[in-house]
Structures are given as structure tokens and as C-alpha cells.
Amino acid sequence: MSVLALPTGAQAAPAGSWGWAQPSLRFAAEAKLLPPALTQRGPAAPVSRKAWVRSLAALEAYRAQAQGAAAPLGGMPAGVALADAPAATVYARSVSLGWSSSQAGRFAGSKPVTGDEAARGIVGALGLQASVAAFAERLKAEIPGARTDYYVRAAHVYTRVLNLRYNHLVGQEFLEVSPGEGMKVGHVAYMLDRAAHADSWRLNSLTAYETFDLPALGANQAQVLRSGVEMLGQPYVWAGETEGVQSEGHGGFDCSGFIWRTVLGGGVPADARRALPERTSMAMSDLPARARIGAAGLRPGDLMFWGYKGPGSRPADNFHAGVYMGNGWFIHSSGGNAGPNIDRLDGWWGERFSWGRRVLKRT
């Protein structure tokens, strides 16, 4: 069976819904990053933890040969034995490295690799583990108390910055993957393809996250940002506003839906609810010029808007919204990042920033 074919009887996705994955499937097969038996099952087939770790080892070897990257998984000592994975296996070594998590002392290779595990593994294979750990420590220090694994949330930020996840278009949201859901062959092939071709300059640019810091936060500001951090790793879904079941076909957020979830769903005072109008970025940004906040006046918890003409935009020109974190950092859900992410207000984002809006009456 061709790697381009869907397996007979695949549940489905409408025809052509996996077309975005076909170039990556071809590359992954030709570069031997995925075994033929797996690619032949089609893009909608599940990927086990065992198959995922084998792909990480193949990716590491590919990058080592093509770009001179380090290959710790292939060259590390035996590691710690697990109940179902001897110490000499690549599976046990991946757990020892932190590229995979153990499950009650087992590798559990037959279980599906989830979105969280994929993020954990891919940053390891790209040599970013120490950087992700440093960023995770900064996140935890600046925004403590989030009900999540900070390292995995930080790993999701890196995968989004590197564009390792595909954003499914409207009508195809049912193919998205939440942090705890299993990845499919098409998703994994896309991630491996993008990781194999990641530029050194882009990888090096991620060190900026190691210096992540915020000003002192009030209780309400901190609660909003905690809610945002807990959503890192969720997919981008047009008109989505919850990580749970919704009519759009899958949990996830668009930019304004992310604001509703983090600001209104984060336990902040009701005055924030009264301050927010309709949930589109255009409507949220529609306020008198005297009430608009420039970049220099932003405080954590303020809403941010971006328009085609930057500060000269009208509300109707604003196409994106986010939440300011402080010291030039903001959190938002972007289609370009395939979901919630943390970015800096500079470069492209700085040039197109329109204005901010204060919705928290008490910090």
C-alpha cells in the first residue's frame, strides 16, 4: 500500500483531509524516520510510544549525519531498566534521558504517544532539553500554582515556536490532538519532517525563553496567567473557547476564545466579565482612542490587539488578540503557532500591535 493511501475502512476524515501530511509522509518514509509498516497503515493510524521512540532515535541519527547534531539517545549508557524495557533498550534510555515518561515503572510501549509525550520527546531529540528546563523553571517561578507539568507546557511552547504542529483548517478540527490524546501517523510525520529541517538559527533563538521574567503580579493577574499556562499545548480551533467538548468538533481555542477562557474562566472578579463585549477581536478592541493603551503602558492581564496597520489600525482592521504577561511577553492562541503559545512583543508582532485594553479593575 502506498504511504499516500488511507487504509481501507478508515474512519473518517472527509476525502483529502490528510493532504497536508503527504509531503511529510513521503519524507519520513524516504529518510526512514518512520518504519514502512507504520506508514503503510495510513496517516490516520495511531502511533505507539514504542514506535515514537524508534522515530526519535532515527531523527537524532538523521540530524547528526546531516547537521552535525549530538546524538545522546544513541550513545548514552544503558540507563535504568523498566519492568517491560531492559536497560539496554532505546526505550529505557529514552526514559532515563527524560525524552519519555515512565508509567508506574513501565515503559508501556503499546500505549499511544500523546501530544504531551510528543512535545517532551521532540525537544530532547533537537537538543533543547536544557533550554526547555530552564524556561520551565522560570515559568514556575513567575507564575506558580498552575495545575500542570511546567516542563511539558514549556516543551509545547518550543514546538509551537518551531512550527512543529499543523493547524487543521475549519471543518477538519476533529483531527486535532489535545495534550492527552494520541498522535496519528500524519501528525508524527509532520513533526519529524519539520524537526529534521529545523534551522540552527531558529533553535538558537529559543534561548530567549531561558530569561523569561515578569513584574510582580497581583492575585487576579496571576490567576489569568495561570489559566493561560495550563492551556499551553491545546490546539488552535476557529471559534473555539474551551478545552472540552464543543460544537467546532474538538477542544481548542481561537485568539478571542482563548481570552474568554483565561480571563473569564480563570476565576477573576466579575468586573472583568462586564468589561468584555462580544468575543471577536474586532469587537473587543472597539473602544475610544482615549481608552486605548500603548505598548509602554501595558500591564499584566491587559488585552492586546494586532491590526494590519499597527497603531494606525481601526477596530475593523484588528485580526488578532492576546493577553499581556509583562516585560514584553504575551500569551495567545494563534493559528500560525497551531495553538496557545508565549511570544515576545517585538519583530512582526511589535510592528502590527494596535493597542491594549484594560479589563481587570483590580490587579
For 234-244, the pLDDT digits (tens) are 999 999 999 99
In whole numbers, what is the pLDDT of the chain averaged over residues? 91
pTM of the predicted structure, to 2 decimals: 0.93
Amino acid 14: pLDDT: 46
Amino acid 6: pLDDT: 28
- Among the residue ranges 40-49, 65-74, 106-115, 207-216, the one predicted with the least confidence is 65-74
Domain 214-363 has CATH 3.90.1720.10: yes
Distance CA 283, CA 67 (A): 47
Residue 8 has pLDDT above 90, yes or no: no
Q: For residue 199, give every residue at least 6 positions away whose Cβ sits within 8 Å of its Cβ, in sequence order, or none.
A: none
Percent of the chain with pLDDT over 70: 93
Taking phi over 0 as left and psi of -120 to 50 as alpha, with beta for the rest, 245 belongs to beta
* Cα atoms in the Cβ-side hemisphere of radius 13 Å centred on 51: 24
Residue 15 has pLDDT above 70, yes or no: no
Q: Where are the domains of the chain?
A: 20-212, 214-363
- Among the residue ranges 18-27, 189-198, 278-287, 343-352, the one predicted with the least confidence is 278-287
The sign of the dihedral angle between the CA atoms of 313, 314, 319, 323 is positive
Task: Find cell 491545546 and name the residue.
Answer: 234
Give the CA-trace dihedral at 25, 26, 27, 30, to 10 degrees.
Answer: 120
Cβ atoms of residues 359 and 185 within 8 Å:
no
Cβ atoms of residues 113 and 47 within 8 Å:
yes
- Residue 80 banded pLDDT, cuts 50, 70, 90: confident
The number of residues in the chain equals: 363
Q: Give me the mean pLDDT over the 222-251 stretch.
A: 96
Distance CA 173, CA 157 (A): 20
Beta strands in the chain (DSSP E): 241-242, 252-253, 303-307, 318-326, 329-334, 339-344, 353-357
- Residue 47 banded pLDDT, cuts 50, 70, 90: very high
Please give the residue that has the higher pLDDT: either 43 or 17. 43
- Residue 17 banded pLDDT, cuts 50, 70, 90: confident
Q: Give me the mean pLDDT over the 41-64 stretch.
A: 96
Q: Give me the mean pLDDT over the 256-276 stretch.
A: 77
pLDDT digits (tens, 9 = 90+) for 318-363: 999 999 999 999 999 999 999 999 999 999 999 999 999 999 878 8
Amino acid 166: pLDDT: 97
Task: Find cell 515576545 and name the residue.
Answer: 344
Distance CA 340, CA 154 (A): 11
Q: Give me the mean pLDDT over the 278-293 stretch.
A: 90
* Cα atoms in the Cβ-side hemisphere of radius 13 Å centred on 243: 19
- Residue 274 banded pLDDT, cuts 50, 70, 90: low
